Amino acid sequence: MIVAKRKPFDEIKEMIKPFKKVLNVGCGTCVSVCLAGGEKEVAVLNAELEMARKLDDNPVELTAYTVERQCDREYLAELDDMVKDHDAVISMACGVGIQFLAERFPEKPVLPGVDTTGLAVNQAVGWYEERCRSCGKCVLAMTGGICPVTMCAKGLYNGPCGGTNKGKCEISQDQPCAWYMIHERLSSQERLDLIRDFKEPADWTDQTPRTLIQPGYKKPENEEAK
Amino acid sequence: MSTEGNGYKSGSNLEKVLKAGHFAFTGELGPPRGANTEEVRHKASFLKGVVDSVNITDNQTAMVRMSSWAASLLLLQEGLEPNFQMVCRDRNRLAMQADILGASAHGIRNMLCLSGDHQQFGDHPQAKGVFDVDSMQLIKIVKQMRDDGKFLSGADLDGSPKIFIGAAANPFADPFEWRVHRLAKKVEAGCDFIQTQCIYNMEKFRKWVQQANDMGLTEKVYILAGVTPMKSVGMAKYMKSKVPGMDVPDEIIERLQGAGKGKVAAEGIKIACEQIEEFKEMKGVHGVHLMAIEWEHKVPEIAEQAKVLPRPVVE
């Protein structure tokens, strides 16, 4: 899933300083599961902001509302009337959700309440580890199901580098060396031949905004389809 | 493949020395943290006539320094041969190929292709690391440019760079059994010579060279054994515990400790010279790369003691 963490309180407070009536929109999907921007987090942030603004003698009126998914047009429609009544909108969705929200309400300042930190697994409640950079050219078949782009600090395709350190990465003792893990896994599967061959430079297809249209589908002919 | 009709790939001094079957001896110079050209010339003065080629490090330990190609040019002006180091951390494939062409145009004939220390170690830890290609891929890019006259993209070059291609090898990192395969991969990618990580664990190194011999790799690539004399017990302990990929056996530390006050550095040099003596006789080792870190002025003394002088001149 997509994971995020709430922005520092002071940063959010500074962002909304000029506004008197702010709508804080949570997202009920990924950021809800990772405890960053769901219904509960929206309520907590609003309470904190309300109190801080009161102390600053600059009260603010905050509304809390959480939609099912901010990256889906049908769920944003329910915000139309509400947004009109506010000076600004905070979105606690991931970077995708907040942009779709901003796109729908181009006349309103839409401000991020979280920092999106990646595509991660749920190791335990509150503990998430990044696993994918969505590079667009998956090499996991070659690397024993361990992503060198994400898990190697240098994103090497022909690792490990000279900095591999007793199974750890040179950057930290807490960070396993991806290529050490890849070697161990393929070794146990007796498939080391997969990484003996030279791997050509990557085709970085993630350098321009990507549009995906699945086979059998196409873009609507006109914008009215929105 | 000859590009000049003389049987040499680059015609660098290092290539000539190795091809003639001499035991090569290379040094290293770290560019200054500023535009101080005198510093480069001063350090270079100790190495002139003492080494066959001088590695010019590229923002080593991810600290910004005078660029390695620029310091390499200063060395050429001083009559020394540079070995231009290039790391994958700071350049994408466009900048790399452009610098390879520029370096060759100015007479730089050796290159060492490296991944580079992670930017987190350096003085700009917030930097975006490039790592567009890795060191293995960089080797192949240089080879393709030199031998096929083509960019990575496949487009034709207007004039091929003349570069003797070097790479690093760490015989000590885990998993040990993978190390020789990684060397094989670099040979396959097209490197002409290897400079190894600093060697202290001789037993492990012997084993690695033996594996490389058995696989026929040492007939395809020149291996220069990495040597760094220990200046102090503190340095040895630091290298053992703090430098990733370094293997310093306790015997080395004990020997330095036993040297007595004021004699530790001399003992460090003695150990290095004993190593060099062994490398001269070791099948599959074609030379030594001396990394006397911030100790350039000691290189002539070490070279003398290691009996690698005078350096051969190959026409």
Give the percent of chain A with pLDDT over 70: 98
**Which residues 177-236 in chain B show a CB within 8 A of chain A?**
178, 181-182, 184-185, 188-189, 197
Task: Flag whether A106 is in a domain.
Answer: yes
Task: Flag whether A224 is in a domain.
Answer: no
Do A41 and A9 lie in a common domain?
yes
**Do B245 and A201 make contact, defined as CB atoms within 8 angstroms?**
no
Determine the distance in angstroms separating the CA of A16 from the nearest CA of chain B, rounded to an integer: 27
Mean pLDDT of chain A: 96
Determine the distance in angstroms separating the CA of B185 from the nearest CA of chain A, rounded to an integer: 6
Q: For chains A and B, what is the number of CB pairs under 8 angstroms?
A: 89
Do A100 and A20 lie in a common domain?
yes
Which pLDDT belongs to residue A209?
95
Task: Flag whether A162 is in a domain.
Answer: yes
Residue B90: closest C-alpha in chain A: A154
Residue B7: strand, helix, or coil: coil
Do A107 and A152 lie in a common domain?
no
Q: Which residues of chain B have pLDDT under 70?
A: 1-5
**Do B132 and A204 make contact, defined as CB atoms within 8 angstroms?**
yes
Name the residue among A164, A183, A198 with its Cβ closest to that of B188.
A198
CB-CB neighbors (< 8 A) of B181 in chain A: 192, 196
**Domain membership of residue A31 as a residue range:** 2-118
Do A176 and A107 lie in a common domain?
no
Cα–Cα–Cα angle for B50, B54, B59, rounded to 5 degrees? 145
Name the residue among B120, B178, B197 with its Cβ closest to that of A162.
B197
Determine the distance in angstroms separating the CA of A129 from the nearest CA of chain B, rounded to an integer: 19
Do A86 and A156 lie in a common domain?
no
> What is the mean predicted confidence (pLDDT) over A24-53?
98
Q: Which CATH class is domain B13-305?
A: alpha beta
Which pLDDT belongs to residue A221?
77
Instruction: Say which residue, A221 or A184, is predicted with more confidence.
Output: A184
Which helix (H) or strand (E) segment holds residue B284: the answer is none
Which pLDDT belongs to residue B297?
95
**Do B129 and A187 make contact, defined as CB atoms within 8 angstroms?**
no
The residue ranges of every structural domain in chain B are 13-305
Which of A161, A198, A206 to mutate to probe the B interface, most B CBs <10 Å? Answer: A161
With 70 as the cut, is the pLDDT of residue A46 above it?
Answer: yes
Q: How far apart are CA B48 and CA B150, in angstroms?
A: 35
Give the percent of chain B with pLDDT over 90: 94
One-character DSSP codes across chain A: -EEEEEPPHHHHHHHTTT-SEEEEEEESSHHHHTTSSSHHHHHHHHHHHHHHHHHTT---EEEEEEES-TTSHHHHGGGHHHHHT-SEEEE-S-HHHHHHHHHH-TTS-EEESEEEEEEEEEEETTEEEEEE---SS--TTTTTT--HHHHSTT--SS---TT-BTTEETTEEEEE-HHHHHHHHHHHTT-THHHHS--PPP--GGGS------TT----SSGGG-
Which pLDDT belongs to residue A224?
55
**Do B170 and A201 make contact, defined as CB atoms within 8 angstroms?**
no
Q: How far apart are CA B249 and CA B247, in angstroms?
A: 6
Q: Inform me whether the C-beta atom of residue B3 falls under 8 Å from chain A C-beta atoms.
A: no
Which of B170, B179, B182 to mutate to probe the A interface, most A CBs <10 Å? Answer: B182
Contacts (Cβ under 8 Å, ≥6 apart) of B113: B86, B135, B138, B139, B142, B165, B166, B167, B191
**Do B118 and A199 make contact, defined as CB atoms within 8 angstroms?**
no
Q: Inform me whether the C-beta atom of residue B130 falls under 8 Å from chain A C-beta atoms.
A: no
Which pLDDT belongs to residue B220?
98
Do A97 and A153 lie in a common domain?
no
With 70 as the cut, is the pLDDT of residue A15 above it?
Answer: yes
Contact between B275 and B201 (Cβ < 8 Å): no
Which pLDDT belongs to residue B6?
79
Determine the distance in angstroms separating the CA of A94 from the nearest CA of chain B, rounded to an integer: 22
Q: How far is the CA of B95 from the CAs of A41, A183, B132, B145, in angstroms?
A: 45, 31, 11, 14
ipTM field: 0.94
Q: Inform me whether the C-beta atom of residue B174 falls under 8 Å from chain A C-beta atoms.
A: yes
Do A182 and A95 lie in a common domain?
no
CB-CB neighbors (< 8 A) of B93 in chain A: 201
Do A28 and A108 lie in a common domain?
yes
Do A97 and A191 lie in a common domain?
no
Which pLDDT belongs to residue A222?
62
**Do B170 and A162 make contact, defined as CB atoms within 8 angstroms?**
yes
A13: CATH: 3.40.50.2300
Residue B246: closest C-alpha in chain A: A165
**Which residues 245-284 in chain B show a CB within 8 A of chain A?**
245
With 60 as the cut, is the pLDDT of residue A226 above it?
Answer: no
With 90 as the cut, is the pLDDT of residue A225 above it?
Answer: no
**Do B93 and A201 make contact, defined as CB atoms within 8 angstroms?**
yes
**Do A154 and B115 make contact, defined as CB atoms within 8 angstroms?**
yes
> What is the mean predicted confidence (pLDDT) over A99-110?
98
Determine the distance in angstroms separating the CA of B168 from the nearest CA of chain A, rounded to an integer: 8
Task: Flag whether A208 is in a domain.
Answer: no
Task: Flag whether A175 is in a domain.
Answer: yes
Residue B128: closest C-alpha in chain A: A154
Residue A155: closest C-alpha in chain B: B131
Q: How many domains does chain A have?
A: 2
Do A8 and A69 lie in a common domain?
yes
Which pLDDT belongs to residue A223?
56
Residue B141: closest C-alpha in chain A: A201
> What is the mean predicted confidence (pLDDT) over A193-205?
95
CB-CB neighbors (< 8 A) of A155 in chain B: 131
Task: Flag whether A213 is in a domain.
Answer: no
Residue B180: closest C-alpha in chain A: A196
Which pLDDT belongs to residue B3?
46
Task: Flag whether A210 is in a domain.
Answer: no
Both tokens of residue B48?
């002139």
| B106 HSE (CA, 13 A, CB side) | 19
